[in-house]
A and B are shown apart, each in its own frame.
Chain A
Amino acid sequence: MTNFKFTEENLKKIDEIIKKYPVKRPAVMPVLYIAQEQNGWISQEVMLEVAKILDMHPEEVLGIVTFYTMYYQKPMGKYHIQVCTNVSCMLRGAYEIYDRVKDKLGIGNMQVTGDKIFSLEEVECMGSCGTAPMIAVNEDYYENLSKEKVEEILESLKKS
């Protein structure tokens, strides 16, 4: 277990974020994002540190981290592949894409490849219904996909 500390730069960012709200606590979600960016995932140490700088109880931070799906409670791959399988995407072949990614990477939902390059998550509607099916790689959307296109994307990510 190592202690987690925010970088100086991130601490400055956090100060700016806190100013947006009348009290400190609302900054918890953005601060958790910053922590996740710095640390890769939200560890127990991260939650303790976030609680400390926002005058919260760690229990409260834990409650928040486990409520929202975008905070990872374990390290994910360098490329976190999110496949939407909700109705609109499903109607346009999302499960075939999900299965293809699964086979290609050899991992299941919320698993990470051995080389830690990829992780997979079946996600709920991402708001790409009009451009379905889609995947998101980390923060970027890839839309209007086919099985072939997805394979291409994975290949090019592997190379980069």
Chain B
Amino acid sequence: MPKLVVDGKEIEFKQGQTIIEAAKEAGNTIPHFCWHPSLSVSGNCRVCLVEVEKMPKLVIACSTLAAEGMIVHTASEKALAARNAVMEFLLINHPLDCPICDEAGECKLQDYAYAHGVGESRFVEEKTHKDKRVPLGPNIMFDGDRCISCSRCIRFCDEIAGAPELTFVKRGDRVTIVTYPGRQLENPYAMNVVDICPVGALTNRDFRFKARVWDMSANKTICQGCSRGCNIELWVRNNEILRITPRQNDEVNSYWMCDHGRLNTFKFVNADDRVDGPYLRREGSLAKVGWDEAFAAAASELKQFNKNEIAFIGSAFASCEDNYMLREFALNVIGSRHIDFMRHSDSNFGDEILRKNDITPNTMGAELVGVTPAAGGLNFDGIINSINEGKIKALYLIEDDILSANPELENTLAKLNLFIVHSSNFNKTTTLADIVFPAAAYAEKNGTMVNFQGRIQRLMPAVATLEQDRSLDGMAMSRLDKFGTRFDRWAKGNKRDVRPTWKIILSLSAAAGYKLIRQAQANMAEDIFEIMSKKIDAFKGLDYDKIGEKGIMLKIDVAEKA
């Protein structure tokens, strides 16, 4: 491979790479605002000016191709002088009110000003004034004063979202960003502009001014909005999720996620309708009981039925571990062959960018772990028909509000003699349940899911529960999590009495007198995965470390599975 020298260090580069790309790969990030690895080069911010030996003028690292033998200085006297000059220009008309800016703490301008600014302003004139608090769309607020005209948002809309809803208007320092009068920035990916805005010009209306960045922890996991499984971060303060941002994964979602995933996949975790402990139906209504009582009740109720009268419905919303344990329970404890899960597809949801019509995160995982009818068993429709015919009398359902998805099932489910449900929230389906176990939400557990590509990815917890500790269980820690005391406002978060489905099933089988797995082997989701990796071909040789934070492709024929 060809080589160039950046700051005295020889690095390799691929033909066609720019200086900034080559240096970044070698771990030397040259300061930049307008350049973004996934967008076209615009070269307008000028902060990446570097000195290249034998070139008469400084060049911008974002557009200058790396060449064999090139010698680049990113911090020479000349390069630093230019960078300081550009920083000064960017700051003269930028409000210097970081303490009241929502971007503070994750602002490139703030970071670079701290690293590269001279720390003193020579500007004594009046700053330019532009429109503030302009709602560009239903979810995005624009502050013209803070904008540094880097054009990242415009390029994102043009190049990634395919919806050129934004444009520069006017010239010079009057330049600002608008939508066409009467139109909005509302494409399904619009909110990514908030993430890539290097300053506080574009903010998330659902989140702005709710929390300081440094008061939150950022927890890596995957989006539950569809079968893409975009890699995301859950931002948590006081054990409450406040926002989701995408996490870079070039194989899955690049730097992006859709607004639906960002806005609609975390609020249920914080919601008031969470199932906050096991519930039993008594005299017609659900009553909260202790765990042991719930397990005993479920075990004895299940024993009232012939194994062929009990059906199991897994979930494309639940993890592989949860689905796998349900299957083991159905086949090995109860001995039923009737097991399947409901498919959720929305032909209006998918697009050519990220969104898929399969609006569940783990269809392929559920199939791979065998939540499909065993030989001679009934599939989902067969189970429904058999309930209607009175052949199936008991149903065990995990983590899927099937009644909301299909309201026509109401009469069917009402016919059941026993209906056991694992659910994170009370919903239409739980209203018909006889026993409800409080299932940990995706944000409260470890686990794995397989996306539409056949890529297995990890769920990692972001929210502590009664049985899962933020610090001991390795969740990300904010400043408040680390140093907060009970006198601090945001250090007292509410912990819920919920457990992951796999764990509930293990306890239930124990209560029913079966040792599904030796308890010592199964303290963590990881242990369940270890068992799966021995039994399921697709998972052979894998463990959580190998899957890592960005997932790994399974060696399966995806076309066949799909």
Contacts and interface: CB of A to CB of B under 8 A. Distances in A.
Interface of A: 44, 47, 57-60, 62-63, 66-67
B170 A59 contact: no
Contacts of A44: 180-182
B170 A67 contact: yes
B171 A67 contact: yes
B167 A59 contact: yes
A57 B165 CA distance: 8
Contacts of A67: 169-171
Contacts, number: 32
Interface string B500-528: 00000000000000000000000000000
A63 B151 CA distance: 13
A59 B171 contact: no
Given A57-B180, A59-B183, 7 more contacts: A44-B181, A44-B182, A59-B166, A60-B164, A62-B167, A63-B168, A67-B171
Nearest to A58: B180
A59 B165 contact: yes
24 contacts: A44-B180, A44-B181, A44-B182, A47-B180, A57-B164, A57-B180, A58-B183, A59-B164, A59-B165, A59-B166, A59-B178, A59-B179, A59-B183, A60-B164, A62-B167, A62-B169, A62-B178, A62-B180, A63-B167, A63-B169, A66-B169, A66-B171, A67-B170, A67-B171
A66 B170 contact: yes
Nearest to B179: A59
A94 B493 CA distance: 71
Contacts of B170: 66-67
Nearest to B157: A59
A62 B179 CA distance: 9
Contacts of B180: 44, 47, 57-59, 62
B214 to A, nearest CB: 36
A57 B167 CA distance: 10
B441 to A, nearest CB: 40
A62 B178 CA distance: 9
Nearest to A69: B171
A81 B29 CA distance: 53
A57 B178 CA distance: 13
Nearest to B176: A66
Contacts of B178: 59, 62
Nearest to A68: B171
A63 B166 CA distance: 9
Contacts of B164: 57, 59-60
A67 B182 CA distance: 20
A148 to B, nearest CB: 36
Contacts of A58: 180, 183
A101 B107 CA distance: 49
A60 B181 contact: no
